Chains A and B, each alone.
Chain A
């Protein structure tokens, strides 16, 4: 055996023996899930889940289905990136869905055109002030501002008044939803400019989701910010004793989560070409579910963006698979609940086993 053996201070260990990455298990679950749908489809429906079975379409895989899977998870996936770093840092964010609603309304009202088919835009909120046909950067900055403010309030409440994150973000969840309804008195806001509409066109949501996922995977792995997220989630007292400014860090974590929710709002309202006060309802739970399924521990300190991305794919495959099996949409929601609780139970079980093993 030509294994390289290293030792620190005399004790040797096998350098090749690395801990099994947790993301691998999640990926395995995804593969098994796809295989299960494939098998059930072949046996009961005589159709394939993953592969292309139609004569008139070329290609090995059922590209349409794969696109739908990734498209429908990419917007909530953007939120899940922010939620992942919050959970790793030992917190929770229940407000992201409502932030999506409020931000979509406010940002969209700065992204409207002046005329529709030659007539003045009936839905334009600020047409009297001449605030129409604005460059796309304006609604984008407005959105980021909204997300930032909501996130800063969340973070400041949690860091300085020391109320549990659950309560602070629950308050924001209710308040932000109220803002979303108040902004246009419940009316939908429509007719965005072409440049705003381009943000969510086609596969753009997927591109944005993947880019942000890569960015935050790098941030969590290679920067001080990321290291401190894990440290605080792992042992807040230890982090404090080590001189980490816990309060500042938490404010930053929630502010970033708010901004990511706002970006999801931009993509969503751009994709739908309209903003409605009810947008993003329950997205926060879907985002948390994606993170938890992806191996992010609700007790903090463990998880990764890669895991969350795979978790979001599992989420998408389940929803798409249920449609494929022609099961009722009601079952989807029931099963979603079971999966969330199941993922947490699995996490608890893993922790207990580790504790005994150590």
Chain B
């Protein structure tokens, strides 16, 4: 099964006595966009944190890109090809767009260790190309993040992930704090990523957004995956039933 990008088996996380995540079995194929839904505290973010190495899992196995992996931190996961847009954005407010895009992986003209001379032109060019590729709209490349709206900031963060993510992008509620227009802009970027065949995991509360954007929906409830449904096989009411626990989903999971 070479087209599986990410696979987890019995992924489990306990915080002391709290079973935040129990035996999660998850698969993501090449080019596939999957949404993770669930109520607050259902285990969505916990799941993401185990995959991206932010936290260490209690039990279970993770395969990424054909190999079993055990990331010790988010940087290691990033180096392996998993890029994450975190809820807190992780941008440096006082730097401009190219500097943020290339933060920690700057292009250099001369390598002088820490005093390496930056190749500002190349970074600027690459930034323009990346923004065009992801259809991100930024009024001015040289203005700092501080001077941008929430939507523009989110776009920069997403453009950054999209520029470097070779294999997988994870977005944790990318539009939670955005207005209508800004949300639309972010959704357009996600569509562009889909067209480019980049696999994506989208954590979202927004039902309309999920049905608009993804191929498959995975529902978490009380630390367990209770549903794993292709978009065309379900609808909003069905998903809500799983989220609230009106439907338990054990039978359906067996079938799927």
**Chain A residues in the interface with B (C-beta under 8 A):** 8-11, 13, 17-19, 219, 222-225, 227-228, 230-231, 233-235, 237-239, 241-244, 249, 252, 301-302, 354, 358
Contacts and interface: CB of A to CB of B under 8 A. Distances in A.
A223 B92 contact: no
Given A224-B108, A239-B104, A249 B114 contact: yes
Listed from nearest, the 7 A-B pairs whose CB atoms lie closest are A242-B104, A301-B94, A243-B104, A234-B92, A234-B94, A11-B137, A242-B103
Contacts of B147: 19, 354, 358
A292 to B, nearest CB: 16
A249 B103 CA distance: 14
10 contacts: A8-B131, A223-B117, A224-B114, A225-B114, A231-B92, A237-B90, A238-B92, A239-B92, A242-B103, A244-B104
A9 B106 contact: no
B132 A9 contact: yes
Interface stretch (B2-10, B138-146, B200-208, B221-229): B138-146
B139 to A, nearest CB: 4
Given A8-B137, A8-B138, A358-B149, A224 B115 contact: yes
A301 B136 contact: no
A237 B139 CA distance: 26
B48 to A, nearest CB: 14
Among B95, B104, B108, which residue has the most Cβ atoms of chain A within 10 A?
B104
Interface residues of B, number: 44
Interface of B: 74-75, 78-79, 86, 88-95, 99, 103-106, 108, 112, 114-118, 120, 128, 131-132, 134-144, 146-149
Contacts of A19: 142-144, 147
Nearest to B143: A19
B106 A227 contact: yes
A22 to B, nearest CB: 11
A252 B113 CA distance: 12
B158 to A, nearest CB: 12
A222 B118 contact: yes
Nearest to B107: A224
A222 B117 contact: yes
B140 to A, nearest CB: 5
Contacts of A8: 128, 131-132, 136-138, 141
Contacts of B79: 243
B99 A231 contact: yes
Contacts of A9: 131-132, 134-138
A223 B132 contact: no
A243 B114 contact: no
Chain A CB within 10 Å, residue with most, of B75, B79, B120: B75
B90 A235 contact: yes
Given A8-B141, A223-B114, A358-B147, A243 B105 contact: yes
Contacts of A234: 92-95
A231 B99 CA distance: 9
A19 B91 CA distance: 20
A94 to B, nearest CB: 24
A239 B93 CA distance: 11
Contacts of B112: 223
B132 A227 contact: no
Contacts of A224: 106, 108, 114-116, 118
Contact of B139 (A11, A18, A225, A228): A11
A251 to B, nearest CB: 11
B137 A223 contact: no
A228 B108 CA distance: 13
A297 to B, nearest CB: 8
B90 A242 contact: yes
Contacts of A354: 146-147
Contacts of A239: 92, 103-104
B95 A227 contact: yes
Contacts of B117: 222-223
Contacts of A238: 89-92, 103
Contacts of B143: 19
Contacts of A241: 74-75, 86, 90
A44 B43 CA distance: 75
B82 to A, nearest CB: 13
A227 B106 CA distance: 9
A234 B138 CA distance: 21
A249 B115 CA distance: 11
A223 B116 contact: yes
Nearest to B84: A241
Q: Which of A9, A10, A219, A301 has the most CB of B within 10 A?
A: A9
Nearest to B149: A358
Given A11-B137, A11-B139, A222-B118, 20 more contacts: A8-B141, A9-B132, A9-B137, A9-B138, A10-B135, A11-B138, A13-B139, A18-B142, A222-B120, A223-B116, A227-B103, A230-B92, A230-B99, A233-B94, A235-B93, A237-B88, A238-B89, A241-B86, A244-B104, A249-B114
Contacts of B90: 235, 237-238, 241-242
Contacts of A244: 103-104
Contacts of A233: 94
Nearest to A235: B92
B113 to A, nearest CB: 8
A64 to B, nearest CB: 39
A235 B135 CA distance: 26
Contacts of B120: 222
B95 A231 contact: yes
Given A224-B114, A241-B74, A243-B78, A10 B137 contact: yes
